[in-house]
């Protein structure tokens, strides 16, 4: 089954932007010219493709939030618009730098790539749920012991629980698995992403003052 974002051929180039006003976005004609395409359109991120865009947002957030062990700070990025065009479009160096404040990331995607991302994100959510189920055990037991004492209970199975032992067991619970899940998502991101605008800008600074020959551009975008 095709991902609706990628169209009937199951592949497309997706560029994510964030802007407060549409006037901050690149002009459609200019962007098409820079990328060397004749087809392409802007879409709002909260439209028909919102779930697919949210997955890409989550991948970007994972990359930017490491070493956050949960990797779930999804508010770190906020895509407002996407530019959708044909598959395998190569990023334009100058456009990336010019719109570095608005451009979050670009991806060259296929149905298979998107399925891989969906599976990886689902896997991490399952692991995070496993951790969340037991991460508050020590706190819960501490509160219940205090309540039992207030009630005058003498049940030693409540009062004598070794909270420190429980905390020692649950504090690291599933963190290694979550870290591995984060690493897998980041590996996916690094495989399918465009070069980030910040990276390109840094590379440009390294060759400042020299002419940007085709060879230099190729080196920057490789």
Q: Classify 160 as helix, strand or coil.
A: coil
What pLDDT is recorded for position 195? 59
What pLDDT is recorded for position 108? 94
What pLDDT is recorded for position 218? 45
Tens digits of residue pLDDT in 48-106: 898 999 999 999 988 887 555 554 545 556 889 999 999 999 887 777 778 888 888 99
What pLDDT is recorded for position 215? 45
Q: How far is CA 6 from each of CA 52, 105, 182, rounded to the nearest angstrom?
A: 10, 16, 25
Neighbours of 109 (CB within 10 A): 23
Place of tokens 């496993």: 130
Place of tokens 């991460």: 135
Q: With a threshold of 0.95, does the pTM exceed it?
A: no
Nearest to 87 by CA among 149, 40, 142: 40
Neighbours of 88 (CB within 10 A): 10
Place of tokens 């551009």: 217
What pLDDT is recorded for position 202? 54
Q: How far is CA 104 from each of CA 29, 58, 74, 78, 195, rounded to the nearest angstrom?
A: 20, 12, 14, 9, 10
Successive 10-residue mean pLDDT values, the chain, 222 residues: 78 92 89 91 90 91 70 62 92 79 91 95 93 92 96 95 94 92 94 67 51 45 47
What pLDDT is recorded for position 187? 94
Q: Where are the domains of the chain?
A: 4-110+193-221, 136-170
Q: CB under 8 Å to 40, separation ≥6 — which residues? A: 28, 31, 32, 83, 84, 85, 86
């Amino acid at each position: 089954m095709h991902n609706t974002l990628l169209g009937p051929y199951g592949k497309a180039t997706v560029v994510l932007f964030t802007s407060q006003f549409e006037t901050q976005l690149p002009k459609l004609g200019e962007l098409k010219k820079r990328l060397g395409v004749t087809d392409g359109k802007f879409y709002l991120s909260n439209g028909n493709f919102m779930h697919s865009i949210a997955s890409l947002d989550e991948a970007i957030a994972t990359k930017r939030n490491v070493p956050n062990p949960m990797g779930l700070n999804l508010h770190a990025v906020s895509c407002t618009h996407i530019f959708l065009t044909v598959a395998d479009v190569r990023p334009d160096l100058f456009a990336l730098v010019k719109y570095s404040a608005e451009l979050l990331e670009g991806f060259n995607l296929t149905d298979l790539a998107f399925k891989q991302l969906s599976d990886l994100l689902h896997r991490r959510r399952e692991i995070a749920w496993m951790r969340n189920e037991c991460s508050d055990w020590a706190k819960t037991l501490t509160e219940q012991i205090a309540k039992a004492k207030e009630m005058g209970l003498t049940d030693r199975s409540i009062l004598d629980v070794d909270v420190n032992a429980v905390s020692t067991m649950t504090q690291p619970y599933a963190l290694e698995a979550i870290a591995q899940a984060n690493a897998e998502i980041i590996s996916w991101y690094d495989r399918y992403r465009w070069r980030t605008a910040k990276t390109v800008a840094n590379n440009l600074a390294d060759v400042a003052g020299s002419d940007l020959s085709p060879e230099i551009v190729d080196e920057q975008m490789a």
